[in-house]
């Protein structure tokens, strides 16, 4: 009997993609699939071939055209080289299910369905046609492409109810299934890493932001609020990497209550999270993708038993309100954040932390995995 294979396609370097790592591990362990392949992009400091375990193999595809300039026409040439190499490599691997991560890979799935009879899963990691960096012309073009390609998908999955409902309305498809980007469930004891590393006294409350240090996350406003705060009982730790890292480091040098910690690999992250007192999740409502987001870090904070300080995004607000595990900032302003800090500092943090653990007991990867495996069973039936 020929081996049954599953192919995951990503148009990135596949360095720290926790969602793909969790999904592929769950599928590999399900025994529904004999071999899981991950096709991504190659760059100099990464392995071209990487064996994650006995039945998960990564191929980062080297491109002859990589050195070409980055204008749109030449980027398209690079894309076609990448696409052709994927087809050439996997056309004889009995790919029963091709799992397309984000819109940029969906064309590959369509070709596998048309010519190799593979089943197609479209995994929308965000509301990609509504991200902040797109102008109206680009949005229109991407929505047109997505409206055509999405009809070939046997199953669409995404990361929040708001995005799922938007896809259903925009493309006249059944509401996509939800696979939330939750961490695996793990009971965590309180840790003290940050206090020891930064010499933070026990009478100061540690607010933690972990994630991308990029625009749109309200980081500049958070640093301004903490830097100018008259409170002497709070500190802010910013942990991650990204385009604003230099500004974060400068703020950490300028203000005695702001600290920077470099990013931590996903498998080592949670003890650091458990070393804080309050988790901060603040994303500006600058596009619909951000507006409907349900960030992974919200669930990481909950897993560590941290009360959360969040801004007024519908999916986040709904989750925090349902479990009563934090405080919602009513206005995305300097005063709004200050008021939110005062309210959560006046709350019963121990009670909010207990409620956060209840959220984590329901929203964890073990429960999300059940939905993913049921989808694969349907694809293979």
Per-residue pLDDT averaged across 346-352, rounded? Answer: 98
**CA-to-CA dists, residue 71 to 43, 78, 103, 138, 142, angstroms:** 19, 11, 19, 15, 17
Q: Any alpha helices (H) in 229-364, and if so which ranges?
A: 245-254, 270-273, 288-291, 296-303, 314-323, 334-346, 349-362
**DSSP character at residue 93:** S
Q: Smallest Cα–Cα separation from 76: which of 111, 107, 54?
A: 107
Over the stretch 145-166, which tens digit does the pLDDT of each residue have?
999 999 999 999 999 999 999 9
Residue 16 scores a pLDDT above 80: no
Model pTM score = 0.92
Q: C-alpha dihedral over 75, 79, 80, 85, to 10 degrees?
A: 140
Confidence grade of residue 3 (pLDDT, cut at 50, 70, 90): confident
Over the stretch 265-287, which tens digit does the pLDDT of each residue have?
888 899 999 999 999 999 989 99
Over the stretch 360-369, which tens digit does the pLDDT of each residue have?
999 999 999 9
So where are the chain's domains? Answer: 5-182+364-380, 193-362
Q: What would the two tokens of residue 148 be?
A: 């055509």
**Secondary-structure class of domain 193-362 per CATH:** alpha beta
Q: What is the CATH number of domain 5-182+364-380?
A: 3.40.50.2000
Q: Is it true that 5-182+364-380 and 193-362 share their CATH fold?
A: yes
Q: Smallest Cα–Cα separation from 191: which of 304, 38, 107, 355?
A: 304
Percent residues over pLDDT 90 in the chain:
91
**Beta bridge mates, 5:** 35, 95
Over the stretch 29-46, which tens digit does the pLDDT of each residue have?
998 999 999 999 999 999
Q: How far apart are CA 265 and CA 15, in angstroms?
A: 10
Find the length of the chain.
Answer: 381
Task: For Cα atoms 362, 367, 373, give the angle at the middle one, nearest 5 degrees.
Answer: 165
Contact, 235 vs 257, CB < 8 A? yes
């Amino acid at each position: 009997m020929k081996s049954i294979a599953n192919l995951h396609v990503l148009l990135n370097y596949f360095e720290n993609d926790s969602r793909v790592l969790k999904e592929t591990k769950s599928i590999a362990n399900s025994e529904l699939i004999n071999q899981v392949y991950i096709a991504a992009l190659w760059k100099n400091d990464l392995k071209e071939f990487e064996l994650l375990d006995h039945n998960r193999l990564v191929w980062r595809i080297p491109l002859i055209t990589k050195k070409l300039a980055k204008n749109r026409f030449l980027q398209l040439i690079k894309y076609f080289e990448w696409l052709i190499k994927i087809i050439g490599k996997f056309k004889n691997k009995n790919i029963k299910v091709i799992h397309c991560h984000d819109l940029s890979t969906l064309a590959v799935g369509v070709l596998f369905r048309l010519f190799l009879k593979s089943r197609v899963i479209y995994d929308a990691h965000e509301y990609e046609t509504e991200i902040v960096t797109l102008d109206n012309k680009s949005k229109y073009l991407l929505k047109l492409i997505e409206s055509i390609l999405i009809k070939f998908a046997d199953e669409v999955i995404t990361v929040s109810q708001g995005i799922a409902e938007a896809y259903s309305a925009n493309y006249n498809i059944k509401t996509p299934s939800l696979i939330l980007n939750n961490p695996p469930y793990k009971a965590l004891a309180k840790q003290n890493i940050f206090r020891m590393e930064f010499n933070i006294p026990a009478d100061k409350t540690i607010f933690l932001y972990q994630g991308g240090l990029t625009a749109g996350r309200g980081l500049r406003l958070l640093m301004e609020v903490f830097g100018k705060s008259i409170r002497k009982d709070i500190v802010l730790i910013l942990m991650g990497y990204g385009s604003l890292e230099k500004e974060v480091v400068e703020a950490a040098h300028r203000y005695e209550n702001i600290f920077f910690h470099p990013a931590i690999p996903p498998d080592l992250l949670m003890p650091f999270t458990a070393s804080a007192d309050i988790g901060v999740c603040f994303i500006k409502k600058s596009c619909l993708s951000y507006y409907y987001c349900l960030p992974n870090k919200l669930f990481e904070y909950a897993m560590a038993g941290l009360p959360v300080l969040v801004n007024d995004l519908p999916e986040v607000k709904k989750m925090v309100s349902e479990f009563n595990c934090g405080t919602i900032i009513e206005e995305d302003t300097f005063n709004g954040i200050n008021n939110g800090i005062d309210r959560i500092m006046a709350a019963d943090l121990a009670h909010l932390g207990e409620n956060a653990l209840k959220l984590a007991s329901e929203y964890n990867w073990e429960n999300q995995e059940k939905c993913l495996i049921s989808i694969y069973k349907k694809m293979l039936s």
